[in-house]
Amino acid sequence: GESVGLHLPTLSVQEGDNSIINCAYSNSASDYFIWYKQESGKGPQFIIDIRSNMDKRQGQRVTVLLNKTVKHLSLQIAATQPGDSAVYFCAENIGDYKLSFGAGTTVTVRA
Amino acid sequence: GAGVSQTPSNKVTEKGKYVELRCDPISGHTALYWYRQSLGQGPEFLIYFQGTGAADDSGLPNDRFFAVRPEGSVSTLKIQRTERGDSAVYLCASSLSERAGELFFGEGSRLTVL
């Protein structure tokens, strides 16, 4: 499943399939980007980050891609599991300590 | 505790009342942040502490909002004369360094102003 275009608020994906969540960022001067996962009733949880001198970074079952030309960030989740159901936020560093978060994409995993 | 602790988890108050929200960061984390999250939105920056001092309070919406961190650990966010528009989840986060990196968030304090 993929959120088509720059951003869609919801994404439904079949368990076992790969998910792609897209995000557009606003500040061309941003040099650091983070993906967070937020489950219902909990605070955001760090997933993976990437600095602007990289195009791709991989973690466990997750990959983040950065396209600075079009100011686009994506999060790929391999073999999506029911525990991946959550809201996913991209965030950009707009100062040394300040993060600006997107509106989030709600991912629902179908059994 | 192992994580960032926030109290209360839920607070219901009446318009015009004063509220305090408390954050206990991860031990040893010098940087502490407050964010506000409205329903269906991403967190919005309010204030950042490095040690005891507020290094940046530019996100506080107005002078009814104030935060302190007197001993460089626990922080309290104070809201005077609450308004219905203040209803949101107030998130606290801490990190090891001042450079924005992996922020560890608490579960938030949900404030409802009637």
CB A25 within 8 Å of CB A6: no
Of A5, A30, A40, A38, the closest CA to residue B42 belongs to A38
Residues of A in contact with B4 (CB under 8 A): 43
pLDDT attached to residue B34: 98
Across the beta sheet with A62-67, the strand order is A19-24, A72-77, A62-67, A56-58
Of B40, B42, B39, B36, the closest CA to residue B23 belongs to B36
Q: Residue A96: left if φ>0, alpha if ψ -120 to 50, beta else—which one?
A: alpha
Q: Chain A residue with minimal CA distance to B6? A: A43
The band of B111, judged by pLDDT with boundaries at 50, 70 and 90, is: very high
Check whether B95 has a pLDDT greater than 70. Answer: yes
CA distance A14 to chain B (A): 23
Residues of B in contact with A106 (CB under 8 A): none
pLDDT attached to residue A6: 47
Mean pLDDT calculated for residue range A19-30: 90
The tens digit of pLDDT for each residue in B42-60 reads 999 999 999 898 889 999 9
More confident residue, B1 or B73: B73
Q: What percent of chain B has pLDDT over 90?
A: 83
Mean pLDDT calculated for residue range A40-49: 94
Considering CB atoms only, which of A42, A98, A102 is closest to B100? A98
Check whether A96 has a pLDDT greater than 90. Answer: no
The band of B99, judged by pLDDT with boundaries at 50, 70 and 90, is: low
Q: Chain B residue with minimal CA distance to A9? A: B40
Mean pLDDT calculated for residue range A42-71: 95
Q: Pairing between strand A56-58 and B19-24?
A: unpaired
Lowest mean pLDDT among A26-30, A70-74, B27-31: A26-30
The residues, ordered by sequence, that sit 6+ positions from A38 with a Cβ below 8 Å of its Cβ are A44, A45, A86, A87, A88, A89, A104
